[in-house]
Chains A and B, each alone.
Chain A
Amino acid sequence: MTDHSLEQDRTLAAAPVAGGAAAVGATGAEELVYESGLEVEVRSQWTYARRRFMRHRLAVGSLIILIIILGAGLLAPWVAPYSFEGYDVNSLEAAPSLHHPFGTDLLGRDYLSRVLYGIRTSERVAFIVMVLATMVGTAVGMVAGYYSRWADNLLMRFTDLILTLPALAVLLVAAGLIGKGNQYRVAIILSLLLWTALARIVRGQFLSLREKEYVDAAKAAGAGDLRIMFRHMLPNSMGPIVVFATLTLGVAILLEAYLSFLGFGVQPPTPALGKLIADGQDVSSHDWWLVTFPGLTIVLIVLCINFVGDGLRDALDPTQRVRA
């Protein structure tokens, strides 16, 4: 009797929160079923997450802009109006115009094309950093959280060491002495610094997931450590990992720009966004466009990435209340 009424209370309490969203989802689903003739529609957590994300207008808009910018960078050799080192002797230091929307530099090189190639370099570095940092961070975090002995200690001590010094200073020393201007080396150096944050997040997740009943159940059913970690615990930690990976993309683009700007990142002739700004620095008081446009590009990319990350955080957190 008592149990029953408790159950009722819970349903009543939950109803107003989930009601609105459920109703919308249900009608949509029914139409889908009848129109397409499908008998069953599988709705995983990812389906729900995608729906929550699509409702986040700012995040979806940012994602579209981001795809356009990064796509243009990826296709730079085909999209760019000029090559990144082609000279145009008839328009040296030209202000932005229809022919050269971002202007030209002292040598008459078209800055729109250079910015597009710069995006290409920056995004390549950022994607490598994202993949490496996420993989290493997840792996170390899993081991530290699940076995929670020496790996845990090692991770915490290593983070202590990294936290003793300003990140930018460590990066500059590493990039200045090891990086040698190679974009892949720069990417690896950035990943080495960035993975610890995710390792701590995943460790925290695993520490709490270890105590869950379904892990005990899996153990009782005879599942091995690896199976429990990859099939049961990792899928339940995917939310924070995906959000971290997204935000790391933005952090990597910013840090790479810092390094290239100070002359310790990607070296010429490969164009990088930070380096383009540094090139414009000497003549910045009259050729303002050389500094303005590459910088605006960085701001726009990182801004969009952060908005997408925010949207993902809201979408992937199942405890999050659904906002109308």
Chain B
Amino acid sequence: MLTFIARRILYSIPVLIATSFLIFAGVSLIGDPLGGLKVNPLASQQTIDHITAEKHLNDPIPVRYGYWVRDAVTHKFGTPLLSNVPIWDDLKRVIPHTLMLVVTAELISLLIGVSIGIYSAIRQYSVFDYAATTFSFLGFAMPVFWLALMAQILFTNLFLAWHVRIFYTSGLSSPDPGTGIHWVLDRAQHLAIPVMVLCVLNLAVYSRFMRASLLEVVNTDYVRTARAKGLTEKRVTMKHAVRNALIPVVTLAALNFGALIGGAIVTEQIFQLDGMGNYFIQNLLNTDIYPIMAWLMVVAVAVIFFNLIADILYGVLDPRVRYD
């Protein structure tokens, strides 16, 4: 087990290096990173020279990449091209916000999605099953940003019509959020709609997957054996079938992290949440590659970490899996 983890981590290092070099080289080859600054009449030649010297922009790309790696390792990614605020300070601020959004959405959608999947599989071809199928087909076809905007329109108009604040439709917290329980409630009111929007996307995936997985397990021999030895239907389903059907779903949930971050990019943009997605888009609009590289590296490490978790979970849940 330990050797398996060690080997996986060692294997991921060249992957990270290759990914970062490809992106760095690709992005650097495309254009002048200071192109925007050079046409800006407010920027002095001195500033441009200073940044060029500091980031070694006149050196060949592999050398620049070397400097970038040095900064990333020793100075926590250093500073962006266009400002002196350390990248890590910004990331430290936005990562918890995004995690709050993404983890809540993931937990809620797993809980509800798995329940819907189980019920759909037990009552296959029932009205409920058809309704769930329709819902998930809609979920697969719907752009997240559109759903987010529709929810925003709905709740803004509800507020304008009734003057009752159920949920906020923008921002992460009120100007004066209070402390303790008031802070928590305020945050919940702000995050409710973004979480709901992200959940819809995930619900479609998890409920379909759980349904298919359970339908497969229900037809296996050991479930028939469990029935034959006289267990109640509830016990057969919950204890024998669902437990085994959950294995691929749990793995999928761990692998789904990348998609969640993707969903967070658009959701944060629409609801003006100060999270990773917003940070990413801001810097992409500035074409400042240094924060983007840092962002991609943080996400890549997270994805690799969750892949590892998925593999370990797989072994814990399914004792037949051997790590060698």
- A interface footprint on B135-153 (CB within 8 Å = 1, 0 otherwise): 0011011110110011011
Q: Please determine whether A164 and B141 come into contact, CB atoms closer than 8 angstroms.
A: no
* B132 at interface by CB-CB < 8 Å: no
Binding site of B, secondary structure by majority: helix, strand, loop or mixed? helix
A172 to B23 alpha-carbon distance, docked (Å): 12
- Could you tell me if B145 and A165 are in contact, using CB atoms closer than 8 angstroms? no
Q: Which residues of A contact B16 (CB under 8 A)?
A: 164
Q: Are B303's CB and A166's CB within 8 A?
A: yes
Within B9-40, which residues are at the interface with A (CB < 8 Å)?
15-16, 18-19, 22-23, 26-27, 30-31
A176-B287, A178-B30 known; A169 and B262 CB under 8 Å?
yes
The interface residues of chain A, by DSSP majority, are classed as helix
Q: Does B188 contact A (CB under 8 A)?
A: no
Residues 219-275 (chain B) with a chain A CB within 8 angstroms: 258-259, 261-262, 265-266, 269-270
A285 at interface by CB-CB < 8 Å: yes
Interface band, chain A: 35 or more
CB distance from A266 to the nearest CB of B (A): 15
In the complex, are the beta carbons of A254 and B149 less than 8 A apart? no
User: Are B141 and A250 in contact, CB atoms less than 8 angstroms apart?
Assistant: yes
CB 8 Å contact bits of A156-191 with B (1 = contact, 0 = none):
000011011111110011101110000000000000
Contact check, B145 vs A261: say whether CB atoms are below 8 A apart.
yes
A223 contacts the other chain (Cβ, under 8 Å)?
A: no
Q: B198 at the A/B interface (Cβ < 8 Å)?
A: no
Size range of the chain B interface in the assembly: 35 or more
Residues of B within 8 A of A177 (CB): 27, 30-31, 287
**Does B281 interact with chain A (Cβ within 8 Å)?**
yes
Taking a contact as CB atoms closer than 8 A, the residue among B149, B160, B280, B281 that contacts A284 in the complex is B149
Question: Which residues 82-125 of B sit at the A interface, judged by CB distance below 8 A?
Answer: none
Instruction: Tell me the complex Cα distance, A176–B36, Å.
Output: 14
Given known A-B contacts A168-B265, A177-B30, A299 and B142 have beta carbons under 8 A apart: yes
> Contact at A172–B265, with CB atoms within 8 Å?
yes
**Which residues does chain A contribute within 8 Å of B295, judged by CB atoms?**
169
**B312 at interface (Cβ–Cβ under 8 A)?**
no
Contact A161 B22 (CB under 8 A): yes
- Other A-B pairs beyond A166-B265, A303-B137, 10, CB < 8 Å: A164-B300, A164-B303, A165-B300, A169-B295, A174-B26, A176-B287, A288-B153, A299-B138, A302-B140, A307-B137
* Chain A residues packing against B (C-beta within 8 Å): 160-161, 163-169, 172-174, 176-178, 250, 254, 257-258, 261-264, 274, 277, 281, 284-285, 288, 291-292, 295, 298-299, 302-303, 306-307
Please give the distance in Å from A289's CB to the nearest CB on chain B: 10
A173-B24 Cα distance, complex, nearest whole Å: 11
Provide the residues of chain A in CB contact with B26, threshold 8 Å.
174
A165 touching B299, Cβ below 8 Å: yes
Knowing A164-B300, A167-B262, the reply to whether A173 touches B23 (Cβ < 8 A) is yes
B284: Cβ under 8 A from any A Cβ? yes
- Cβ distance A307 to chain B, nearest Cβ, rounded Å: 8
A176 is contacted by which of B160, B269, B284 (Cβ under 8 Å)? B284
Distance of A299 from chain B, by nearest CB (Å): 5
CB-nearest residue of chain B to A278: B145
Q: B189 within 8 Å of A by Cβ?
A: no
Q: CB distance A169 to B146 under 8 Å?
A: no
Interface residues of B in 296-319 (CB under 8 A from A): 296, 299-300, 303-304
Query: In the complex where A164-B300, A285-B156 touch, is A295 in contact with B137 (Cβ < 8 A)?
Result: no
B292 at the interface (CB under 8 A from A): yes
Determine whether the beta carbon of A295 is less than 8 Å from that of B146. Answer: yes
Chain B neighbourhood of A178, CB < 8 A: 30
Given contacts A169-B265, A258-B266, contact A291 B150 (CB under 8 A): yes
User: Are B287 and A262 within 8 A (Cβ)?
Assistant: no
A sample of 17 cross-chain residue pairs with beta-carbon separation below 8 angstroms, ordered by A number, consists of A163-B303, A165-B300, A165-B303, A166-B261, A166-B303, A169-B265, A169-B299, A173-B284, A174-B26, A177-B31, A177-B287, A257-B145, A257-B146, A292-B150, A298-B146, A299-B143, A303-B138
B157 contacts chain A at the CB level, 8 A cutoff: yes
Find chain A residues with CB under 8 A from B265 CB. 166, 168-169, 172, 262
For A258, list chain B residues within 8 Å (CB). Answer: 143, 145, 266
3 A-B pairs with the lowest CB-CB distances in the bound complex, closest first? A168-B262, A295-B146, A302-B141
Residues of A near B137 (CB, < 8 A) are: 303, 306-307
Residue among B16, B18, B141 with max Cβ neighbours from chain A (10 Å): B141
Q: Is A166 within 8 A of B143, CB to CB? A: no
| Residues on A with beta carbons closer than 8 Å to the beta carbon of B141 | 250, 254, 298-299, 302-303, 306
Least Cβ distance of A280 to chain B in Å? 8
Once bound together, how far apart are the Cα atoms of A163 and B18, in whole Å?
13
What residue in chain B is nearest A250 (Cβ atoms)? B141
Min CB–CB distance A66 → chain B (angstroms): 12
A288 to B153: give the CA distance in the assembly, Å: 7
Most A CB contacts (10 A, CB to CB) among B145, B292, B299 go to B145
- With contacts A177-B27, A277-B146 taken as known, whether A262 is within 8 angstroms of B281 at the C-beta atoms is yes
User: How far is it, in angstroms, between the C-alpha of A166 and the C-alpha of B102 when the chains are bound?
Assistant: 14
Q: How far is the CB of B267 from chain A (nearest CB, A)?
A: 12
Asked if A284 meets B153 with Cβ closer than 8 Å, knowing A161-B22, A172-B280, the reply is yes
Contacts of A277 in B (CB 8 A): 143, 145-146, 149
B105 CB to nearest A CB, Å: 15
A245 to B270, CA, bound (A): 31
Min C-beta distance of B166 to chain A, whole Å: 15
Once the chains are docked, how many angstroms separate the CA of A256 from the CA of B318? 39
Task: Determine whether the beta carbon of B284 is less than 8 Å from that of A264.
Answer: yes
Query: A250 to chain B: which residues have CB within 8 Å?
Result: 141
Q: How far does the alpha carbon of A307 sit from the alpha carbon of B138 in the complex, in Å?
A: 11
**In the bound complex, what is the Cα–Cα distance between A306 and B208 (angstroms)?**
15
Chain A contacts for B258, CB-based, 8 A = 163, 165-167
